[in-house]
Structure 1
Amino acid sequence: MALSVVVASIAAYESIRLLFLLVLIVFWLLYKGKHILFIVLVVVFGSSSYMYFIFSIPEPSENVTVNKITWTDSYRINGSYLRGFAIGDDQQKWYVQLKIKSEQQKNVFLNESIAGKSFLIESQEILKAPLSHMYAFDMEAYIKSNGAVGQIEVQKYQLVGNEKSFVSFMAEKRFDMKQHIQSTFPSSLQSEAEALLIGSREQMPTDLQVAYQTLGITHLFAISGLHVALITLILYELLIRIGVRKESASWLLILVLPIYALLAGGAPSVWRSVSVTEIVLLSMAYRNKIAMEDAFSLSIIGFVFISPWIVYQIGFQLSYLAAFSLIYSSVLLNSSSSYLKQSFMITSVCQLIVYPILLYHFYEVSISSFLANLLFVPLFSFLILPINIFLLFLTYLSTSISGFMFSMYEPIRVKLETFILYIGHLPFQLWNPMKPLLPIVFFAYLTVFFFFVCLEKRKRIIIGTITLLIPIVFMHIKPYLNSSTWISFLNVGQGDCIIIEMPYRKEVIMIDTGGLLRFEQDSWKETNEKYEVGRQIVVPFLKGRGITKIDTLVITHADADHMEGAEEVLEEIKIEQVHITPDSTQKEVMKDLIKEIRKQNILVLEKIAGDHIESKYFQLQYIYPFDNMYEGNNDSLVLSMKNAYFHGLFMGDLEKEGEEELITSYASAIKQLTLLKLGHHGSKTSSIESFLELTEPDISIISAGYNNRYGHPHPEVVERLNRLNLPYLQTGKDGTIQVEIKKNGDIMISTP
């Protein structure tokens, strides 16, 4: 029944044709021997749900007519911006980006809950910039998964009131608790306490988050079943100990648990656990105990009917899939009496059921999680979480006693964090094949279910195991079966990043990594965590493509917009060697990169005109610079890539003087190019007419950011390209541009 509702919700959003999945549900129910009336009820209920969702899901708005907003409890203050979801006077939910006027105003926002506050605003819809690439964060998908209709930018605002409601009241109490934690807990323990007690992970350091992801234990900081069960047990036992009757204790829990869910942030995993517990407690109160799987199904149905868009949230998908796997594998899990074996079985079942969806969303899964969870799940659930609850209780009773307890607990917790960071940075813990297509995800789930059936019935286990491995092996080897060469010009904003994948993934070359030019600003405008092009744009593309190693990283020159993201790439992707232009290491902007290169003991080579990159498929030759003195853009490494079917030239930031030298030295070698990556983002200081006439490229690529402050590409360059009938694409307008060179020489160009 619950699955039919989920199918109906997705079909309402995407296409009515997805209702065909109800047919598959019917076949499954027939196989399970369900009564024909129940099967008919499932189909009717699913179809009726579809009609309900069609009329209840929010439609994306084309025009912004919002004059007043009331903030929800889902918002964040970062630097000089307040961003989050608010309800407009049109009664629709919007994602709002508000620029804070002053430091004083920011302090006001930081020191009180914004939830429920109403603002009169002047706003405009945020222009939709192209998606960086198909593996990058998708704002439109994020907005849809939160039931919003669009995003707006607030230009002027005025606080006009505070709408009182139970939800805003609870949001205020959650905010007060967060403030209390920050004022009473030691700084090293605050992020953990906020995550475990109120479901807020905003303060968690990036390096620690990466370590948790690598170990596959991020879920420990999402309040879920174990947390709710522990809280429920503590409250129940406390009520019984003070003399409350069991029936009364159950009714009090029924009243208290939703309040706890709101205090804990109301994430899908929290509401899933609370709703299932509520349903079971209610059934027990009426002396008609409901089966856990039925309570689970009712929880899903209620959740999706209230918020149909929730099916697109990753937290909802992972939480319910993991719970589903444990409930329906109870026979298998209870087959072992050994704690270690049972714990390993639980971890294995959960990991197998979520691995396809993890690959689809994050492009990698943790191999070490099978062992890491055996250690950290009991440690966090039965020791660290209770300790944090106890310490929070103490901070309200006596700061002197809590201070003494913190002095004992903090050194131990810091050592544990150091240990987690150490093992989290050990190599070979992640499997990163590539992002699977939806049909592969669907097939992978069929093989997982078949494997579980074989295990449960203790029949055809070998066949089940082989079947389980088929999609895993296919996803792993697929990139190595591709005979095409791929050249990807990433949309990294105002900067350059090019990735060249040779046939069968034999070689991978990256030219520049993108980066940001950072400008001085008032300290209150500084963001909590800096936006990192390398980590947030480049690395997701590499992981989405299943690229785990780069043979050669070429840093064309020492400008931040070409190499500032390199350090982040090195931290997550193995690099064999780095090529740089001569004498560029002396520049201040290169210091952090060189430090990371030395830390990893990576080979660094200075290259000039005439040097080569070894390749089985192309002649890869540097044709610039000619000297060993670094002076700037006109000392960029220029790479020529050529075979019988293709000739490309990657110019870095080379300008007019460099182009003139190339005309003089390589006139016959660079005639009639297949592809030209224009120098210096299409600036008027490059792409001179004589150079374009000589190279006459079939396609030109301009790496320039959307609506950038420099006006790149310059109108003179655009006019020149048009006058010479030279077609071009721009990463900032067209998104990441991918050029596929097939084995027979055919060339295909695609954009998102």
Structure 2
Amino acid sequence: MTTLTVVIIFLGLSVKAKSYSTCDLHNDILIYPDQINIKDGFASGEGKIGKNKILISMPANKELELALKRNQILYLSNISAEVKPLDPPTNFGQFDYRNYYRSKNIYERLSLKNYQLRIKQANFFDYLHVFRNQLKNYFAKLPRIVSFMISEMILAENPDSKNKIILDNYRNLGVIHLLSISGLHVGLYTVFISTICTLLKRDEYETLFICTTFLIAEIFLADFQAGFVRASLGYFLGKVFALGNIPLAKGDRLGLVTIIHLGIKPTLFLNCGAILSYLLVLGLEIIGEKNPLKQGFFLNLLTTPILLNNFYQFNIFTIIFNLMIVPVFNFCLLPLTFLGAISYKFLPAVTYFIEKIFTLIMNGINMVAQTKFGMIIFGKITWWQTIFLLIISSSLIIFYHNKKIRNRLCLALGIGYCSIFFSIHFPLQGQVSIIDVGQGDSILITTPLRRKAYLIDTGGKVNFGKKKSEPQFNRITLPYLNAQGIDHLDGVFLSHQDADHIGDLGPLLEQVAVKKLYFAQGLNENPSFIKRIKGKVNHTKLIPLIAGNVVKEEGIDLHTVHPFKPGTGKNEDSLSLWFRLGGKSWLFTGDLDQAGEQRLWQHFPLQVDYFKLGHHGSKTSSNPEFLHNINPKLVFISAGRNNRFGHPHQETLETLQTLKIPYYTTQDSGTITWTYSPFTQKNKFSTFNQGPLHGTN
């Protein structure tokens, strides 16, 4: 049985998760110190109820903090908690955490309100968790980059969110696999241990035992990272069969490793990292090519469809970057990482010197990565396109030496990629999408064919107190744009200064090219706004708008219908836009209050097909008379789930009910998208969570 056959058969079986039953809160929750993090008085991480793994979050009292510092294994009892299934993504292109945790057999999350602690008598397995936590705490004391490197190499985790830029840089250059503990590290570890054993005159069986023991321990420390488990199983089976003089082809060994790994973890291939790990090894066996350039080219052919399906972009110079960075990593970064981690205990000056070396190297990598040289925002490809490209790429590698077949496959592959690329970047449909950015506003407008893309507001999280988090733009809007192959915006319209509307303007301007930035007159005099855009609009044209101005763009005219005088960016100064697309009219009014709505109607007696309710459905907006006058067929509400403002307000919903105006909210539906085509009179609404909306044309 060939490796490819085994992989295909068990790929189908891998999606079958282990049986799972809803957790019983009458049972105690077992938590290990290495699986819980405490930040700002709040604890979160993984726990276990019976056989079920769960995500937990809870207030961290002093007793809990002290117990975790002492590396104690704990039971949580007398629990008062809310049990919820893991949330699905609500936007196209958004990372699917539910599927990610499903690959780890985690299906539910608990928000604990009250609990009591009880210390568990530790067994041998528990002490492994204690040891892992001790390493975790020790690594956290190291200088930041050394800490990051050793944590990735040993624990397969990032100890600090500040290091995300390093991960992004490696990912953009196509060398992220260097930071994923895998076959490379298994090879280095076993060669090092085998060399020591040879010097100590240990025989092959003793060497195998020592190497296997070390690998098992490291598998646990690395939290069963798929690539490392695969490589460790491959090493063990290869040595056992060799010592037993049992012939075993490399392909059969990989097939056997796949069977064993899937037997241990049936949800293995729900994880993109696991798919890439096995695909790369399978590719190496199919290729059998020693030339590093050819080998790199073929491996990129195999992995690109998976990358486009999951990350929507790739770098055409990945092969070159690998040839440049891999030697630096293997012969400089990796040995210095371990030296820096060990020397910190005895000679901290050495560790800080290594940190300086790492800083120089990382700064160099950052400079190259930030240019985005060779980066192509391709867009998300479908599962069937992924399979098609994988089949053609695999066939090209297998039949590469047959010139006639090779030429045909190259042509098919080229046509396939070009067809998919043009279908994404020159779409037959345009859209208006109310993106689910939580408690905020962000609306994407695109035109068909020679696509133009515009954004009304950027969304942004309102931070209460000093606590700050990663911009929502990075998690929601940027993937949403990239998944559609959008790498620049022709225009961004800003309604007013509130953080939930333009809080993510800075991250947007830093990562996406914006040709024109539109805003209501007077906002450009606001110190807060000036601070947001300072140093970020060198190549962006700033255009203030006042009622009566018309922004004429290819395929769309956007009419400014508010404000009537310059303001400072308050709710009552909200920039309001009316436009027509595909025979339908739209109105967006930001957080305009009821008085402003009345002024708007007096100057512009519009009737609209679709209207996004002002101020997230607040009772301060959506005047009943105004709604009656504009007479929308359908309205939309952009508001966060369980938001602290109670949006949409009941008064507003009752107004809609009285006027018999149907509505949809991003709270329930996720992103709401309207599509239209210049080739047909048909247009349609769809929601990310609920599918097509019928009867809305």
After TM superposition, the structure 1 = structure 2 runs for residues 444-455 of structure 1, keeping only pairs within 5 Å, are 444-455=389-400
SS of alignment partner, residue 641 of structure 1: strand
Question: 1:726 is matched by which residue type in structure 2?
Answer: I
Query: Per-residue deviation at 1:382?
Result: 2.6
Give the TM-score of the pair, scaled to structure 2.
0.93
Query: Per-residue deviation at 1:605?
Result: 1.3
Query: Per-residue deviation at 1:424?
Result: 0.8
The correspondence for 1:281, drawn from 236, 239, 242, is 239
Distance 1:444 1:435 in 2: 13
C-alpha spacing 1:478/1:590, structure 2 compared with 1 (3 Å): same
Range that drifts further, 442-451 or 641-650: 641-650
C-alpha spacing 1:355/1:395, structure 2 compared with 1 (3 Å): same
C-alpha spacing 1:139/1:298, structure 2 compared with 1 (3 Å): same
After TM superposition, the structure 1 = structure 2 runs for residues 698-717 of structure 1, keeping only pairs within 5 Å, are 698-717=633-652
For residue 597 of structure 1, what is the aligned residue in structure 2?
Answer: 536
- The alignment status of 1:685 with 2:620, answered yes or no, reads yes
For residue 490 of structure 1, what is the aligned residue in structure 2?
Answer: 435
C-alpha spacing 1:714/1:101, structure 2 compared with 1 (3 Å): same
After TM superposition, the structure 1 = structure 2 runs for residues 14-29 of structure 1, keeping only pairs within 5 Å, are none
SS of alignment partner, residue 400 of structure 2: helix
- The alignment status of 1:746 with 2:695, answered yes or no, reads no
C-alpha spacing 1:137/1:6, structure 2 compared with 1 (3 Å): same
Query: Per-residue deviation at 1:693?
Result: 0.7
Distance 1:78 1:459 in 2: 61
Query: Per-residue deviation at 1:165?
Result: 4.5
After TM superposition, the structure 1 = structure 2 runs for residues 2-401 of structure 1, keeping only pairs within 5 Å, are 11=12, 57-59=18-20, 61=22, 65=25, 67-71=27-31, 74-89=35-50, 91-96=51-56, 98-102=57-61, 104-105=62-63, 107-108=65-66, 111-113=69-71, 116-120=73-77, 121-126=79-84, 131-162=89-120, 164-183=122-141, 185-203=142-160, 205-330=163-288, 333-334=289-290, 342-395=291-344, 399-400=346-347
SS of alignment partner, residue 132 of structure 1: coil
Query: Per-residue deviation at 1:118?
Result: 2.3
Q: Going by fraction, where is helix more abundant, 1 or 2?
A: 1
C-alpha spacing 1:374/1:423, structure 2 compared with 1 (3 Å): same
Question: 2:439 is matched by which residue type in structure 1?
Answer: Q
For residue 633 of structure 1, what is the aligned residue in structure 2?
Answer: 571
C-alpha spacing 1:324/1:642, structure 2 compared with 1 (3 Å): same
Question: 1:652 is matched by which residue type in structure 2?
Answer: G
For residue 570 of structure 1, what is the aligned residue in structure 2?
Answer: 509
C-alpha spacing 1:127/1:202, structure 2 compared with 1 (3 Å): same
C-alpha spacing 1:351/1:440, structure 2 compared with 1 (3 Å): same
For residue 559 of structure 1, what is the aligned residue in structure 2?
Answer: 498
After TM superposition, the structure 1 = structure 2 runs for residues 431-442 of structure 1, keeping only pairs within 5 Å, are 431-442=376-387
Question: 2:541 is matched by which residue type in structure 1?
Answer: L
Task: Tell me if the contact between 2:439 and 2:639 (Cα under 8 Å) persists in the aligned partners.
Answer: yes
For residue 540 of structure 1, what is the aligned residue in structure 2?
Answer: 479
Query: Per-residue deviation at 1:706?
Result: 1.4
- The alignment status of 1:413 with 2:352, answered yes or no, reads no
Question: 1:748 is matched by which residue type in structure 2?
Answer: K
Which ranges of structure 1 fall in alignment gaps of 5 or more residues?
15-52, 335-341
Q: Deviations over 1:137-190 (max 9, x none)?
A: 33321232111232222222222233634443223222222322333x333422
Q: Deviations over 1:457-479 (max 9, x none)?
A: 45533222222222211221112
Distance 2:145 2:107 in 1: 39
Distance 2:124 2:92 in 1: 40
Range that drifts further, 455-464 or 635-644: 455-464
Q: Deviations over 1:486-539 (max 9, x none)?
A: 010011111000000111152111000111111116xxxx46xx1321111111
Give the TM-score of the pair, scaled to structure 1.
0.86
Query: Per-residue deviation at 1:329?
Result: 1.2
SS of alignment partner, residue 489 of structure 2: strand
The alignment yields a C-alpha RMSD, in angstroms, of 2.4
Q: Deviations over 1:181-226 (max 9, x none)?
A: 333x333422122212332223252222221111111111111111
Distance 1:80 1:345 in 2: 53
C-alpha spacing 1:603/1:649, structure 2 compared with 1 (3 Å): same
Distance 1:391 1:700 in 2: 59
Q: Deviations over 1:563-584 (max 9, x none)?
A: 1112222222211111112222
Number of matched pairs? 683
Distance 2:673 2:244 in 1: 62
Q: Deviations over 1:674-714 (max 9, x none)?
A: 11111111111111011111111111011111121111111
Task: Tell me if the contact between 2:438 and 2:640 (Cα under 8 Å) persists in the aligned partners.
Answer: yes
Identity between Structure 1 and Structure 2 (%): 24
C-alpha spacing 1:610/1:548, structure 2 compared with 1 (3 Å): same
Query: Per-residue deviation at 1:93?
Result: 2.0
